[in-house]
Amino acid sequence: MGLLSLSIWTPIVFGVLLLAFGRDNCARGVRWVALIGSLLGLAVTIPLITGFDTSSAQMQFVEKVLWIERFNIHYHLGLDGLSFWFVPLTAFITVIVVLASWESITERVNQYMGAFLVLSGLMIGVFAALDGLLFYVFFEATLIPMYLIIGIWGGPNKIYAAFKFFLYTLMGSLLTLVAIIYLYNVSGGSFDIQTWHKLPLGSLPQTLVFFAFFAAFAVKVPMFPVHTWLPDVHVEAPTGGSAVLAAIMLKLGAYGFLRFSLPIAPDASREWAWLMIALSLIAVVYVGMVALVQKDMKKLVAYSSVAHMGFVTLGFFIFNDLGVSGGIVQMIAHGFVSGAMFLCIGVLYDRVHSRDIAAYGGVVNTMPKFAAFALLFAMANCGLPATAGFVGEWMVILGAVKFNFWVGLLAATALIFGAAYTLWMYKRVYLGPVGNDHVKELQDINCREFLILVILAVAVLYMGLYPKPFTDVMDPSVAQLLQHVAQSKLP
């Protein structure tokens, strides 16, 4: 068992143990076991970081074992610059979520923590899988723990939100399964994703494969107009569920475009790039305007996630190194920033049990430490220079201007809308005189909450001030991908 297998199966094993043996009468022990499991999962990824060769575009830490001989299905794992950072990011966010849920979850604690640990391992499996069917198994399996997290620990309309989440994502994925089976047959009985990259597909097959993958990945990102499930799910999900959904699960769809759509159907990707760019710009501009009128903090941040992920897909389909690298950097940065934004909303919700912006006002007077952290994360969400939120957006805007000035100009409006809705929310919630008795009675963050926010603040500032370690890893793989996409594969 290699490092990647350990990264996948360590949290899953701990999660299964919690599901099997954990009980509510020993909730304190369950929480500690969950924390140890998540920390071990993170520790296993450290040798990946130290051992990764940043000068190579080849797959590293490869593991390949025959799994189902009859269909030539392999347990095949590996990382390159496109997928590398999402493994430690997933493990990191899992630790944060376990800490953030320490006191807020009091019922079925073992099932809640177990579901998160299993989900963590499955998501890492998606980023590491190099076998098409293995990817699909991991990709679909992530729905189960998230469905349970929303449906059991969610808000008043949790069943509706859980069903909507499950049906949207499952229905989109069915076409992907058809595409995977088609590629298996065309390649002579191989599920190897890297073999699929070399298939000389015709124009029509490429277009059909492109839209089959689009059906699953666009819903997962989510792109306009299939984004409507996300605000409903975020509003009903518990704080930890929202943080993981925004920080990691949305990235599964964007990653799918990089690993499947672009390299397998490069001609179709170039042909339909105008559609992807148009949908991305609508997400950036229109959904940003929708965020401006939200009264619920979670809905506002959910719509802001759609707008920020629009930057990611825009960067991928302008086909230059700044755009693609910027899209990947934006995915990582959005993982830190959106996770932090939802956790900040969770801190307030745990105390007041309301997400309405109108229920607050003047929080800075009673929670000054917390308000300072919230301001940093709000600035990062706006894309302020020296924060993680700025780097990816700036790279995508530069790439978009290089591609087409008007596309770049439209993309840049996101910075204006982002500042407008984020600062408006911050002003209404945190600034001014104390809004009501609930706010007057608030207690500032405790040591556990302070630790969580400090860790996230350091991550946001470090990435904003020194993004080189992140971009160095992806540069060779991005260059190789763009070179591959530029070469026509039409027979």
Longest dimension (CA), the chain: 71
pLDDT in tens, 379-401: 998 888 888 888 888 889 999 99
Q: Answer whether 110's CB lies under 8 Å from 22's CB.
A: yes
Which residues lie below 8 Å from residue 137, measured CB to CB, with a gap of 6+?
Answer: none
Break the chain into its structural domains and give their ranges.
Answer: 272-491
DSSP 9-22: HHHHHHHHHHHHH-
Instruction: Tell me what the pLDDT averaged over the chain comes to.
Output: 87
CA atoms of 305 and 250, how far apart (whole Å): 9
Q: Answer whether 346's CB lies under 8 Å from 104's CB.
A: yes
Structural tokens at position 232: 């409903």
pTM of the entire predicted model: 0.91
Q: How many CB atoms lie within 10 A of CB 7?
A: 29
Q: Answer whether 145's CB lies under 8 Å from 116's CB.
A: yes
CA atoms of 212 and 180, how far apart (whole Å): 9
pLDDT in tens, 176-198: 888 999 998 888 888 888 888 88
Helices (H), 80-157: 86-100, 109-128, 132-141, 143-153
Angular region, 175: left φ>0, alpha ψ -120 to 50, beta rest: alpha
Supply the pLDDT for residue 489.
Answer: 65
HSE-up of 37 (CA within 13 Å, CB side)? Answer: 30
Structural tokens at position 273: 């790039």
DSSP 213-230: HHHHHHHHTTPTTS-THH
Q: From the first residue on, what is the mean pLDDT of each consecutive set of 10 residues in the chain (491 residues)?
A: 87 89 76 90 90 85 86 88 90 91 82 90 92 90 90 85 86 86 87 86 88 88 83 86 88 90 88 89 86 87 87 89 90 90 88 85 87 91 87 89 87 84 88 81 85 92 90 88 79 63
From the list 116, 217, 236, the residue with the least C-alpha distance to 168 is: 217
